[in-house]
Amino acid sequence: MKNSFILSGNICQTINPTELDLHENAYAVCVDGISKGIFDTLPAEYADLPLYDYGDALIFPGMVDLHVHAPQYAFRGMCMDLELMDWLNRYTFPEEEKYENLEYAEKAYKMFVDALKKGATTRACIFATRHRYATELLMKLMEESGLVSYVGKVNMDREASEALTEDSADISAYTTFGWINAVKDKFAKTKPILTPRFIPCCTDKLMEELREIQMAYGIPVQSHLSESKGEIEFVKFLRPDDPFYGDSYNDYDLFGKNDDIDTDVKTVMAHCVWSTEEEVELMHKNGVFVAHCPASNMNLTSGIAPIRKYLDRGLKIGLGSDIAGGHSDSIFRAITDAIQVSKMYFRMVDESVKPLVFPEAFYLATKGGGAFFGNVGSFEEGYEFDAVVLNDSVLVHPQSLNLAERMERAVYLGLDEKNITAKYVAGEKIST
């Protein structure tokens, strides 16, 4: 059977946000790319499958990056002294202009894709630029990587540099139609996602056009929401009749499920730092995913998203690196950042809002964000088999540690690509 095998080792996951699910010296069974579960004793029916024994290594579900900007990878770790809108205009937009040049785009995108392959990420929701052919190039490279992704050609027809602003809403829509038609059936693991950059960069006419495209193709949507106070004020200026930011997407049926017109638009919104009660309620009602990007929110002085409140409300949440607002593509780093900023929120903003704990943040990085891709982020039966094998033997300690301690330590100390022994995506082993 294709993509059928057994992994042996110390298997660590979260089935729910409240607790770790740990199995020492156990077996994770994959049949046709789908998990059959974790077994302490291997069932006889799987005895003939290939067995890959990873000894004392840790085996995690693959990490999910719900929000990352591929063209910004080249300047990660730079230009961190400005707030969002100034940062976009002074650094980000000038960098993204360069992707009109396919030679430059190929060089930069190969760097990005190689980094994802080497790390613990197995799936990602990716922003490209407004350039159609550079976006198709990125999708080709992602497909060749073996990782699973949504990739979006960005739409923007105002409030950007001249080189990045599409000439009109009609031209933006026309180019987007052409791009989707070219790629929608071309790749097995890389799919298009509709990507209005955010409301400040999209006219009402363009949003109307994007609604028509979404209805025609049924593809998911990604964008930004309530990231910074300055951004929110600008949206209020542009759309004064909307009671809150998210309503500006909902007006065009690009904000999750809409019972009024019987549509279910799979949607992920990055940040949601300053979401109002009304906005949170609509996200919950519509099933909108929140991509929590703690590093970016710190670097750009945006604030601290109240993720505990969102979890308690039952919102769908995953983690995003948000390269290059975030400076690291590691979702391990996003896990620890999420915990740390929640502690600051508890101590400095509202002591009734308890900080995240490790199992919760790990859940967001795997099963929480994985839900955007379907049954992903767990070794439970019926889930797509994404796995990362980590050799944590380099982390010496004067006494023996249990699996929970080893797991937390490996994440906090950020075991990098040199410590990834193997990586599997939907049952296929990925060359790192």
Instruction: Indicate which CATH number applies to the domain containing 410.
Output: 2.30.40.10
For residue 49, is pLDDT > 90? yes
Strands 190-192 and 148-152: parallel
State the CATH number of the domain containing residue 169: 3.20.20.140
Calpha distance 128→197 (Å, rounded)? 10
* pLDDT at 304 > cutoff 90: yes
User: Cβ neighbours of residue 402 under 8 Å, at least 6 residues apart?
Assistant: none
- pLDDT surpasses 90 at 274: yes
Same domain for 245 and 392: no
**Domain count for the chain:** 2
- Calpha distance 53→73 (Å, rounded): 35
Mark which of 373, 396, 412 sits at the end of a domain. 373
> Taking the CA atoms of the chain, what radius of gyration do you get in angstroms?
21
**CA nearest to 106, candidates 124, 90, 128, 130:** 128
Query: In this model, does residue 51 exceed pLDDT 90?
Result: yes
The range of the structural domain enclosing residue 24 comes to 5-61+378-429
Q: What is the DSSP letter of 431?
A: P
Q: Which residue has the tokens 């995953």?
A: 318
For range 117-128, the mean pLDDT:
97
pLDDT reading at 263 higher than 80: no
| Cα–Cα distance for residue pair 119/315, rounded to 1 Å | 27
Q: Is residue 321 predicted with pLDDT exceeding 90?
A: yes
Q: Are residues 323 and 408 in the same domain?
A: no
How many Å is the maximal CA-CA distance in the chain? 66
| 262 pLDDT above the threshold of 80 | no
Q: What per-residue confidence (pLDDT) applies to 189? A: 98
382 shares a domain with 240: no
- Both tokens of 1, joined, read 């059977």
Amino acid found at 300: L
Q: Clarify whether residues 302 and 420 are in a common domain.
A: no
Question: Which of the 8 DSSP states describes residue 91?
Answer: I
- One domain, residues 225 and 355: yes
- Whole-number Å distance between alpha carbons of 339 and 356: 5
- Within 10 Å of residue 181's Cβ, how many Cβ atoms? 12
Q: How far apart are CA 256 and CA 315, in angstroms?
A: 12
Tokens of 427: 């049952």
**For all residues of the chain together, what is the average pLDDT?**
96
Confidence of residue 399 (pLDDT cuts 50, 70, 90): very high
Nearest CA-CA partner of 272 in 228, 237, 308, 236: 228
Does the pLDDT of residue 261 top 90, yes or no?
Answer: no
Average pLDDT over residues 394-415: 94
Q: Where do we find the tokens 């490279």? A: 141
Inform me whether the pLDDT recorded for 432 exceeds 80.
no
Q: Do 264 and 125 fall within a single domain? A: yes
Q: Return d(Cα 24, Cα 3) in angstroms, integer.
A: 24
200 and 312: one domain? Answer: yes
Name residue, tokens 């009602």.
Answer: 285
The least confident of 132-136, 204-208, 255-259, 298-302 is 255-259
* Percent of the chain predicted with pLDDT > 70: 100
Mean pLDDT of 131-149: 98
Instruction: State the pLDDT at residue 217.
Output: 95
pLDDT (0 to 100) of residue 238: 96
Cα 85 to Cα 89: distance, rounded to the nearest angstrom: 6
Q: Which are the contacts of 265, defined by CB distance < 8 A and separation ≥ 6?
A: 214, 220, 221, 253, 254, 255, 256, 257, 258
Shared domain check, 346 and 393:
no
282: which 2 tokens? 């609509």
The percent of residues above 90 in pLDDT, for the chain, comes to: 91
CA neighbor of 357 nearest in space, from 14, 93, 53: 14
| Whole-number pLDDT of residue 14 | 97
**Pair 71, 213 in one domain:** yes
pLDDT, greater one: 304 or 415: 304
Q: How far is CA 31 from the centre of its chain?
A: 26
> What residues contact 376, with CB distance under 8 A and at least 6 apart?
62, 64, 123, 367, 370, 383, 384, 386
The partner residues of 225 in beta bridges, in order of sequence, read 271
Q: Give 67-84 pLDDT, tens digit per residue.
A: 999 999 998 988 888 888
In a 3-state reduction of DSSP, which class is residue 375? Answer: coil
Identify whether residues 45 and 101 lie together within a single domain.
no
Give the residue from 373, 400, 417 where a domain finishes.
373
Query: Do 13 and 148 share a structural domain?
Result: no
Say what the pTM is. 0.97
How sure is the predictor about 109, in pLDDT bands with cuts at 50, 70 and 90?
very high
Q: What mean pLDDT do residues 302-321 have?
A: 97
Residues 6+ apart with CB under 8 A from 161: 89, 93, 94, 97
Residues 55 and 162 in one domain: no
